[in-house]
């Protein structure tokens, strides 16, 4: 069987996966449509396997990395889901209080990739908290398909409150300097945008390909850094109106659109990953947090 490479996959396959991953088409229809691209010795099963996340091989920073203190904690979210579980990570050799980062998952709960991103933030010199908004339903269930099913059962505004509560928990943590930012991906990008609207003392927000707020943009105090993939038409169509509002209210922001990058380009567990764009976006993100949280 032919070994698949990213360049073998037509853009329509990535667009189709995006529709499926964001609940716009059911699994059966997704698989039916996917089979149309199973040509030239490529089977539908091989396509599905190739575009699905690989959490085993792609973790950059292991759970037991000795450079970190990383542990699961619980915190209170009285306006959200009650008690929420999250991964708290910070450098093992920290000698002083650290700036904080809330790391917000995609639309499938706290999977191994987002745990990894939380640890990456900690290695960059921050105390990070990566909550699992699926905690009230038992937590991330082990697969993204089941995670998406669970997350659809929760009200997204209640989940927003869970991440606002994470901000408060981190801000008041004895190892935090009191300055806290947020970074989020997809659903987490929307959460990051909304936290900028809802949290007056948020110090910085970095939405990756996230949905945009439609109102109360004048309330934003935090500087924003926004990352978009050029091929992500679904999310990008809301950006011009959002940017116009940010300009209208004289908000501080930076926005980057990465050439030939898909939605999810930062997630290195799927072939939508674009290494150059992802590494540049993460470098910019860490520098932005250091500028605003230290």
Q: Are residues 18 and 159 in the same domain?
A: no
Q: Are residues 191 and 253 in the same domain?
A: yes
Measured in degrees and rounded to the nearest 5, phi and psi for residue 258 equal -95, 120
Residue 57 located in a structural domain? no
pLDDT of residue 2: 52
Residue 1 located in a structural domain? no
Are the CB atoms for 134 and 147 separated by under 8 Å?
A: yes
Instruction: Give the global pTM.
Output: 0.94
Q: Are residues 46 and 82 in the same domain?
A: no
pLDDT of residue 3: 65
Residue 61 located in a structural domain? no
E strand spans, the chain:
68-77, 82-91, 98-104, 127-131, 176-185, 204-208, 224-229, 253-258
Residue 146 located in a structural domain? yes
Q: Are residues 237 and 142 in the same domain?
A: yes
Residue 186 located in a structural domain? yes
Q: Are residues 206 and 130 in the same domain?
A: yes
Residue 200 located in a structural domain? yes
Q: Are residues 32 and 84 in the same domain?
A: no
> How many structural domains are present in the chain?
2
pLDDT of residue 40: 67
pLDDT of residue 1: 46
Q: Are residues 46 and 75 in the same domain?
A: no
Q: Are residues 155 and 239 in the same domain?
A: yes
User: Which positions of the chain have pLDDT values less than 50?
Assistant: 1
Residue 59 located in a structural domain? no
**Residue range of the domain that includes 244:** 68-293
For 5-14, b/e burial (b = at least 16 CB within 10 A) is: eeeebeeebb
- Token pair for 66: 């000795």
DSSP structural state of residue 257: E
Residue 89 located in a structural domain? yes
Q: Are residues 221 and 175 in the same domain?
A: yes
Q: How far apart are CA 73 and CA 135, in angstroms?
A: 12
Q: Are residues 10 and 72 in the same domain?
A: no
Q: Are residues 40 and 99 in the same domain?
A: no
Q: How far apart are CA 109 and CA 92, in angstroms?
A: 26
If one counts every other C-beta atom within 10 angstroms of the C-beta of residue 201, the result is 12
Are the CB atoms for 225 and 285 separated by under 8 Å?
A: yes
* Sheet strand arrangement including 68-77: 68-77, 82-91, 127-131, 98-104, 176-185, 204-208, 224-229, 253-258
Q: How far apart are CA 121 and CA 90, in angstroms?
A: 8
Q: Are residues 121 and 185 in the same domain?
A: yes
């Amino acid at each position: 069987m032919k070994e698949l490479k990213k360049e073998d996959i037509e853009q329509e396959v990535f667009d189709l996966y995006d529709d499926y991953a964001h609940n716009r088409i059911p699994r059966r229809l997704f698989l039916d449509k996917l089979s149309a691209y199973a040509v030239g010795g490529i089977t539908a099963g091989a396509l599905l396997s190739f575009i699905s996340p690989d959490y085993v091989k792609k973790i950059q920073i292991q759970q037991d990395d000795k450079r970190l203190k990383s542990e699961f904690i619980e915190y209170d979210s009285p306006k959200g889901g009650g008690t929420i579980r999250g991964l708290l990570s910070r450098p093992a050799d920290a000698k002083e209080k650290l700036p904080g980062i809330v790391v917000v998952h995609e639309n499938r709960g706290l999977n191994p990739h987002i745990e990894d991103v939380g640890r990456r933030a900690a290695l960059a010199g921050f105390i990070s908290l990566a909550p699992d908004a699926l905690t009230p339903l038992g937590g991330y269930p082990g697969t993204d398909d089941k995670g998406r099913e669970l997350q659809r059962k929760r009200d997204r505004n209640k989940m927003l409150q869970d991440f606002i509560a994470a901000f408060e928990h981190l801000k008041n943590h004895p190892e935090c300097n009191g300055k806290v930012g947020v970074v989020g991906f997809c659903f987490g990008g929307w959460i990051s945008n909304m936290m900028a609207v809802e949290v007056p003392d948020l110090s910085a927000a970095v939405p990756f390909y996230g949905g945009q707020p439609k109102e109360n943009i004048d309330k934003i105090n935090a500087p924003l850094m926004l990352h978009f993939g050029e091929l992500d038409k679904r999310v990008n169509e809301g950006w011009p109106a959002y940017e116009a509002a940010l300009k209208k209210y004289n908000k501080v922001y930076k926005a980057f659109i990465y050439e030939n990058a898909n939605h999810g380009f930062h997630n290195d567990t799927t072939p939508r990953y674009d290494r150059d764009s992802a590494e540049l976006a993460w470098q910019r993100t860490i520098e932005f947090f250091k500028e605003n949280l230290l």
